[in-house]
Structure 1
Amino acid sequence: MADVTNASRPSVVVGVDGSEHSRRALEWAAGEARLRGAVLRIVPALPVGLTRSGGPDPHVDAAARGLADLAALARRLDRRPVAVTSDIVNGLPVKVLTEESRHCALLVLGSRGHGGFANLVLGSTAVEVTARTACPVVVVPPGADVRNRSGAVVVGVDDSTGSESALEFAFARAEQRRAHLVAVQVWNPPKQFSGHSAADIERVRRDSEELLANTVARWQIRFPDVIVETRSIEGHVVAELAAASVGGEVVVVGRRGRSVVAGAFLGSVGQGLLRHAVVPVVIAR
């Protein structure tokens, strides 16, 4: 139903559901597609059973009109052209968006909320999709400045393979945008240090700083032009990453791993970050 675009071009897919949060995700995705020179693909997933089966169907017709309006909106954003394609795809949202992720460079979603900072509720679709997709996922929180493209790229670092994926994405993005990169490692004394001494804490701090410095140094060999600030912080990972990302463009984390950033990302830590971050959250793969 939409523009015919060059299938060989990379695409940025945004999942929409008609909410204000998904419109904010659409605006961020449109800007991202422009910067990448990519096609913006808008995908609303209808509930199973709402396919057209011969005659007119008011549900499908209403969805088609809404999708056409969103495509027109995406073309108007920032008064700069962006190539847009869109389709009504029948199926459960998680299944549809997971399949879309196999064919795109980036998948963008909005999160949902019902009031102030403490009461934000993360959309269940966002949680499920981030666990299954074949490409990086960006979740745009309600309070994000979707037009901010000049802030630092913030990345959470630990010693996991998931962290390596996050670092690769973050360094590449910082290089492409000529942006400052902030690498954050959050640490706490091990539980066995319940009676820890100042020397014990100092040893953990030094080990954390050394790991962070060595990890960043490896990536700077590959991306020598990226300016990096490192922060090794004792504290709670959600609070520290959310604080570090204020004023930034995105905060990047890995999907899986052994330690607090990646290992718990789809658990309470990850859901906490998606609730409380004030910039788009990238879950790298």
Structure 2
Amino acid sequence: MRLRTEVLMNIREYVVGVDGSVPARAAIRWAISNARERGATVTLVHVADDEWGAVGTRLIGEADAGGRELLDRELGGALPTAAGDVPIVAELRTGSPMVLLASYSRPDSMLVVGTHKTGFHYGRAFGSRSLQLVNLATGPVAIIPETESRLRHGVVVGVDDTPAGGAAVDLAADLACDHHCELVAVRSSTATHRFDPDRDDELRDWQVRRDDDARRLLVEAVARARARQPGITIRSRVIRRPPGTALNEVARAAELLIIGDSRRDKPQQGGLGSVAYDVLLNVSSPTIVVHAPETEPSSREASAAHETQGESHVAR
């Protein structure tokens, strides 16, 4: 099998979940700006929650009418930002909001949602809808906080040895090139299960090995990013903090943080990893979560599949 690595340049649509909130409007502005750079379209989606069904059809009708008014208002506010050079449409849906938004997820579309979270409040956002969306999606998802982003600078990427981590490095390199900014590659040298030695020298040796392993992964990630975008400036950092904490701390003033979703080797619903979970639980900057690249058959596999299909067709 071989992997597709063209993450950024394949994005043809930005799908924004809108609910009339300040973070949702920040998400709309972010999507329009990025769609302009990519020559992509923007779709605003408002989902009238079908839990209204428990209280009767009359209130469902009122919710739909309110949703149409909200969409008209948000579309009217977005059109001046689009300035006629970004195609933008609005759609009203009824159902479970995050489930329906996730149904728009494809490798060539990016889901975009706003969040009120702008700092470190560990454990207070359990059940966050953005976490639910990322868990359900199989394409990239952008989580945009309401804080002003014009003063932010630089792209930060979390480094690991997974397919999703490689896709994150590719995307981060492309974005750093497009935005003419520095790329910072970050790797935590803290283990999930801490080593508990009998002597201090054993603990020092253990940490040195962890640091060396982190540096090795960073060297590989920097080489990958530089091969993809030779002109960008790249820094790397090993941090002795838990991965989610380290990434949010470094990215606090960054314009973007890019992370892979999990250690799985292909896009999969319900596969959010612990590091991505921790980052999104305490998001500090605009954050894009990417999944492992889709696989496509090698020429030999494709030929075998074609032959199998042909035999099956003849048999029928």
What's the TM-score, normalizing by structure 2?
A: 0.74
Residue deviations 1:252-281 (CA, integer Å, cap 9, x gap): 1101118xxxxxx94654343224332111
What is the aligned partner in structure 2 of residue 262 from structure 1? none
Distance 2:24 2:78 in 1: 12
For structure 1, the residue ranges without an aligned partner over 5 or more in a row are 1-8, 259-264
Asked if 1:145 is matched to 2:151, the reply is no
Asked if 1:205 is matched to 2:211, the reply is yes
What is the aligned partner in structure 2 of residue 134 from structure 1? 138
Residue deviations 1:22-42 (CA, integer Å, cap 9, x gap): 222222222222222221110
Asked if 1:92 is matched to 2:91, the reply is no
Distance 1:49 1:132 in 2: 19
Q: Judging changes above 3 Å, is the alpha-carbon distance between structure 1 residues 126 and 37 closer, same or farther for their aligned structure 2 residues?
A: same
Distance 1:274 1:211 in 2: 23
Q: Judging changes above 3 Å, is the alpha-carbon distance between structure 1 residues 127 and 50 closer, same or farther for their aligned structure 2 residues?
A: same
| Residues 3-42 of structure 1: pairs in structure 2 closer than 5 A | 10-42=12-44
- For residue 213 of structure 1, report the CA deviation from its aligned partner: 0.6
What is the aligned partner in structure 1 of residue 171 from structure 2? 169
- For residue 132 of structure 1, report the CA deviation from its aligned partner: 2.2
Deviates more, 1:163-172 or 1:211-220: 211-220
Deviates more, 1:272-281 or 1:127-136: 272-281
- For residue 215 of structure 1, report the CA deviation from its aligned partner: 2.8
- For residue 136 of structure 1, report the CA deviation from its aligned partner: 0.6
Answer whether contact 1:110 1:140 (CA < 8 A) is retained.
Answer: yes
How many residues of Structure 1 are paired with residues of Structure 2 in the alignment? 266
Asked if 1:194 is matched to 2:194, the reply is no
- Matched position secondary structure for 1:102: coil
For structure 2, the residue ranges without an aligned partner over 5 or more in a row are 1-10, 265-270, 292-316
CA RMSD, 1 decimal:
3.0
Q: Judging changes above 3 Å, is the alpha-carbon distance between structure 1 residues 275 and 146 closer, same or farther for their aligned structure 2 residues?
A: farther
What is the aligned partner in structure 2 of residue 179 from structure 1? 181
Q: Judging changes above 3 Å, is the alpha-carbon distance between structure 1 residues 26 and 135 closer, same or farther for their aligned structure 2 residues?
A: same
Answer whether contact 2:45 2:92 (CA < 8 A) is retained.
Answer: yes
- For residue 201 of structure 1, report the CA deviation from its aligned partner: 2.2
**What letter matches 1:255 in structure 2?**
D
Answer whether contact 2:18 2:45 (CA < 8 A) is retained.
Answer: yes
What is the aligned partner in structure 2 of residue 273 from structure 1? 279
Residue deviations 1:65-108 (CA, integer Å, cap 9, x gap): 11011011112238675321111112211221111113752110
Q: Judging changes above 3 Å, is the alpha-carbon distance between structure 1 residues 59 and 104 closer, same or farther for their aligned structure 2 residues?
A: farther
Give the share of equivalent positions with the same residue, in percent.
Answer: 27
What is the aligned partner in structure 2 of residue 156 from structure 1? 158
What is the aligned partner in structure 1 of residue 258 from structure 2? 252
- For residue 170 of structure 1, report the CA deviation from its aligned partner: 0.9
Asked if 1:110 is matched to 2:122, the reply is no
Deviates more, 1:69-78 or 1:225-234: 69-78
Q: Judging changes above 3 Å, is the alpha-carbon distance between structure 1 residues 147 and 37 closer, same or farther for their aligned structure 2 residues?
A: farther
Answer whether contact 1:233 1:240 (CA < 8 A) is retained.
Answer: yes
Asked if 1:236 is matched to 2:239, the reply is no
What is the aligned partner in structure 2 of residue 101 from structure 1? 105
- Matched position secondary structure for 1:87: strand
Distance 1:225 1:199 in 2: 37
